[in-house]
Structure 1
Amino acid sequence: MDSHKELQHRGTFECELCGLTAPYSYYGQKPPNAYPISLSEDSYVIKDPFTSDKDKFLILGSHCSLCRKRVCAGTDCSLFYSKRFCVPCVKLHLKEFPLEIRQDLEKKTRSKLHSSKTANSKDPKQS
């Protein structure tokens, strides 16, 4: 069997929140050539383009376990807490998550607000 064939482009992953698009080569829990690894969720996977090691791969994303939207693994779009959740679903069900998750989300939201206020207050004409 040609293992190279297993890593060929199968489709295009697109995050329904941020619009990130990338070709994926595998969808599931056991990526080819990653024998000892079994993922906790069905994931869209691509061979790591930054290495020639055929065993290395990147997880692009998965589906939100509540709304089923396809979301990337970026922290602005989703989080994994025993299952994948998109940030909008996390916010809707925030009270059902542990305190640490709620605090992290709160911190991130405050940090984003602060950085956007700082960016908006800078006058490009004064630079």
Structure 2
Amino acid sequence: MDLNEGSALGVFRCKLCELSSPYTFYGQKPPNTRAIVLLEECYGMKDPFSPDREKFLVLGSKCSLCSKTVCVGADCSLFYTKRFCLPCVRDHIHQFPEQIQAELAKKKNTQKTSSS
């Protein structure tokens, strides 16, 4: 199978927001890239908005704690040395640095204010 031309391997689906998209690679090394190695095993695809064959989009990955497949959206996951889904981040919030705890608390307060 020639992954270089973007043949879909399957459909990526976020377990939290239901985002779904065909993906053309899974792993740390996107096809058609020379020196790029991603920090996590992830689902990705060629960037459909760019004619450049080396451009790609990362769709998501598996949570390193619960193994749920989650997208990279800020409402679904967080990357801090590894990928974590937000429910796991909340369950283990005190194991994260204070800066991340503060950012999540601020985001939570913003969501409460906007939904009032």
TM-score range, shorter chain: over 0.9
* TM-score (structure 1 length as normaliser): 0.88
Whose helix fraction is larger, Structure 1's or Structure 2's? 1
Q: Is the 8 A contact 2:4 2:31 kept in 1?
A: no
Instruction: Encode CA deviations 1:63-106: one digit per residue, 9 max, x unaligned.
Output: 00000000000000000000000000000000000000000000
* Distance in 2 (alpha carbons) for counterparts of 1:18 and 1:72: 8
- Decide which structure has the larger Cα Rg and report it: 1
Describe the SS at the equivalent of 2:44: strand
- Alignment RMSD: 1.3
Gaps of 5+ in 2: none
Aligned pairs (5 A) from 1:80-99: 80-99=79-98
Identity %: 53
Q: Is the 8 A contact 2:10 2:24 kept in 1?
A: yes
* Corresponding residue pairs, total: 116
Q: Distance in 1 between matches of 2:40 and 2:2?
A: 26
Q: Which amino acid aligns with 2:61?
A: S
CA contact under 8 A between 2:10 and 2:22: conserved in structure 1? Answer: yes
Q: TM (normalized to structure 2)?
A: 0.96
Letter in 1 for 2:85: C
Tell me which stretches of 4 or more aligned residues in structure 1 moved more than 4 Å.
none
TM alignment of 1:1-127, pairs within 5 A = 4-5=4-5, 7-117=6-116
Which ranges in structure 1 are unaligned for 5 or more consecutive residues?
A: 118-127
Matching residue's letter, 2:76: C
**Partners of 2:70 and 2:2 in 1: how far apart?**
31
Is residue 60–residue 70 contact of structure 2 (8 Å, CA) maintained in 1?
Answer: yes
> Shift of the alpha carbon at 1:4?
3.5
Supply the distance in 2 between the matched residues of 1:56 and 1:70 (Cα, whole angstroms). 23
